[in-house]
Structure 1
């Protein structure tokens, strides 16, 4: 099985290249993902257009279609590599990915499946950037990238009717797209992941969107930011985190404040007209 590491994203929300971010243990993220990939395959390739995002001894494959996101990188790989066979695609921004998760993915793959992947822990939809694709699946990309949604890797993998698995580590596929997400990922790596129940109070636009004043929520988040992003994704809340303030147990707090069981959390929207 071949492995293709995708490290060509522009990281606009993060504000810096995610592949070169240093993890809490001092390891560069790209090197961490590379070691994981090598633990399951002897045939590892890297997709990157950035000269600073390189791996020793590995020739990176320039993405000829960067405007098409991950699908463009996958199509480029398929067009340049003969007899791709089965390919494990790994996004470089998976800071919580671990070897047992990759081993579970490989162990659950059927040779007759177009694709095998994990379901998202919140909405249950397929996760396309830690997934196994057959050569026949990659052959479909020529037509897909020409379509209107040719940038959406999730739509593509859903079209393949993939074998859908549950990850052994529920947060392994939580990605990091912003500095707040990165703080949350690093908090999980440093403090571990423990389910906890907290009470959420909703006000103004968030109360309207949620349709209630308060609720008890079980979460795997470590920080207030991680909690809000879980809720925003689950309930399609309309406000971005940067437009809110946060309070914990009656006091304003920073977004990277660690959560404790039974905390009372308030996400405070901007004042109307303010």
Structure 2
């Protein structure tokens, strides 16, 4: 089985190359993913833009469709290695661990077009830690040709075998500095379920349709909590436009939260 590590994004929201970020143990993210890729026993490739240099000595495939995202990477690796399945790993999965990859490999169903995990928040199949069989990955080029680029929709269309995550937060990703702080907090302190009271104001209250609610979360920080809620409820505002408060006091986005806390997300005042 071939492994394809996706490092072709521009990391604009993160502000630096995610592949070369050092994890709390000092290991670069790309080196960690390459280590996990060895579990397949097959070749490991990097999916990259053709205007960047590889961060380690592995063979590279480049997207043939500019702006095609993960689907373009799938089509490219299929052109390069058309005769076997491909394990795809996204570069932003800082919580991905050996047990999760091993579980995916052990429970793979070669008779299906793909095997993947369900997202822990919305239940949709997760495309960036998944095994694509030849019968599935061969469809990527045709989907791209129709101008369709959503990797989640593509994976859903393959009717994959969808597994539950053995470690619920293993596929939590990081695309911003705040999300990276959340992932690192989970790596340092573990993942502990907690229940918090969340208060909404102004535009967030309008979008959510309520003033407050009790929320069960795996988040370690206000940033992690907000991103969970934003993803689950499609909240309209990004962290950069908000302030957070914890138990009545303004707090930083990377401050720790505890079971029983009251968290407030405060949008900007209209016209202010």
- Determine the structure 1 residue equivalent to 2:123: 124
The answer as to whether partners of 2:72 and 2:141 remain within 8 angstroms in 1 is no
Alpha-carbon distance in 1 for matches of 2:239, 2:91: 24
Alpha-carbon distance in 1 for matches of 2:151, 2:210: 34
Pick the aligned partner of 1:201 from 199, 215, 221: 199
| Residue 102 to residue 237, structure 1, CA distance change in 2 (3 Å) | same
Report the 3-state secondary structure (helix = DSSP H, G, I; strand = E; otherwise coil) of the residue aligned with 2:68.
Answer: helix
- Determine the structure 1 residue equivalent to 2:248: 250
- Determine the structure 2 residue equivalent to 1:224: 222
Measure how far apart 1:29 and its partner are: 0.3
Give the TM-score normalised by the residue count of structure 2: 0.96
Matches within 5 A, 1:28-39: 28-39=28-39
Matches within 5 A, 1:109-188: 109-149=108-148, 151-188=149-186
RMSD: 1.2
Alpha-carbon distance in 2 for matches of 1:82, 1:232: 38
- Determine the structure 1 residue equivalent to 2:55: 54
The answer as to whether partners of 2:44 and 2:59 remain within 8 angstroms in 1 is no
- Structure 1 residue runs of 5 or longer lacking an equivalent are none
The answer as to whether partners of 1:3 and 1:45 remain within 8 angstroms in 2 is yes
- Structure 2 residue runs of 5 or longer lacking an equivalent are none
Alpha-carbon distance in 1 for matches of 2:87, 2:80: 16
The answer as to whether partners of 2:82 and 2:134 remain within 8 angstroms in 1 is no
The answer as to whether partners of 1:198 and 1:216 remain within 8 angstroms in 2 is yes
- Determine the structure 2 residue equivalent to 1:106: 105
- Determine the structure 2 residue equivalent to 1:87: 86
Report the 3-state secondary structure (helix = DSSP H, G, I; strand = E; otherwise coil) of the residue aligned with 1:207.
Answer: helix
Report the 3-state secondary structure (helix = DSSP H, G, I; strand = E; otherwise coil) of the residue aligned with 1:67.
Answer: coil
Pick the aligned partner of 1:239 from 228, 237, 240: 237
Aligned length: 271
Matches within 5 A, 1:13-52: 13-49=13-49, 51-52=52-53
Measure how far apart 1:196 and its partner are: 0.5
Alpha-carbon distance in 2 for matches of 1:42, 1:162: 22
Alpha-carbon distance in 2 for matches of 1:214, 1:67: 40
Measure how far apart 1:51 and its partner are: 4.0
The answer as to whether partners of 1:8 and 1:66 remain within 8 angstroms in 2 is no
Alpha-carbon distance in 2 for matches of 1:231, 1:116: 27
Give the TM-score normalised by the residue count of structure 1: 0.95
Measure how far apart 1:262 and its partner are: 0.7
The answer as to whether partners of 1:248 and 1:263 remain within 8 angstroms in 2 is yes
Alpha-carbon distance in 1 for matches of 2:147, 2:66: 15
The answer as to whether partners of 2:11 and 2:175 remain within 8 angstroms in 1 is yes
